Every structure is written in C-alpha cells, then in structure tokens.
Amino acid sequence: MAVNLDGVFLGTKHAMAAMRDSDPVNGSIINISSIMGLVGFPDIAAYNASKGGVRLYSKSVALSCAERKLNIRVNSVHPGFIDTPLLRQGMARIADPELARKTYDALQPVGHLGQPIDIAYGVLYLASDESRFMTGAELVIDGGCTAR
C-alpha cells in the first residue's frame, strides 16, 4: 500500500501543487494502476486493493479539479501483462520458463505480451493536448485481456 497507493497520493498531491502555482494553471496527472485494479485475481488481494485504490483516487481527484475549475486533468492507465524484466524474472522461477512465456502469450487475446512502449504511447496521449477532454478516465492497455 505504501508504494502503490500512498506513493500515488503523494505524487499527485505535489504535482497538483506545482500545477496550481503555474501560470496559466494547467496540467495532466497520469497515475499508473493495473488491470488488477479492475478485476479480482486469486491470492493478490492487497495488490488488487492498492491498484483499485489508484483507479478511484484518480477519479476523485479529477472531479475535485473540475469542480474547482482547475485546468488539471487526472487519469489512470491500466496495463495488462507487459514484457518487463520483472515479469521475465517471475517466469524464470517457473520450472519451464518457455512454457510459462507461451502460457502468458496465450492468455492475451492478441496472442502476445505487451511491450513497455505500448504503455508509453498511451501515457504520451494522456499527457498531450489531444486528450484535453479526458479526465477521470481509465485507459486500459491490455491486448484485450479484460474484454474476456
């Protein structure tokens, strides 16, 4: 909770303060959650709760900024299974890492894990003026995993 939820709270709090002090007041806060903040998963209840907290916290702050007429947008990004060193480390601990990789790939409707750049492009969109009408939204980047 300290990293996943308290860290997002503190980062958002301090980013908002800096944005409120800018002239003109504007900004885009993008909080990283997970698809595990949208759906439950066995044996990781605390992780699910922390990522679900990021989701709802982002929505609440977005509404607060809108009601106070601050031009600060707040959205959350929900990555699915992404090919990162952390995921590869986890697969390496499985008896057959190659089978683990094939299993993870098969879980994705698109047939493969996402890449970090896939998440970066979504964040770039939310940071840009092209998303100026988005606040309190959830950007799910998961290869269709939560569509099942």
Q: Each residue of 20-63: pLDDT tens digit?
A: 999 888 999 999 999 999 999 999 999 999 999 999 999 999 99
Can you name the residues that pair with 75 across neighbouring β-strands?
30
pLDDT at 105: 95
Q: Each residue of 90-121: pLDDT tens digit?
A: 999 999 989 999 999 999 999 999 999 999 99
CATH number at residue 93: 3.40.50.720
Cβ-based neighbours of 147, under 8 Å, separated by 6 or more: 109
pLDDT at 52: 98
pLDDT at 60: 98
**Ramachandran region, residue 140 (left: φ > 0; alpha: ψ -120 to 50; beta: rest):** beta
Domains held by the chain: number = 1
Would you call 47 a catalytic residue per the annotation? yes
**Choosing from 47, 57, 121, 125, which is the catalytic residue?**
47
Domain enclosing residue 29, as ranges: 2-147
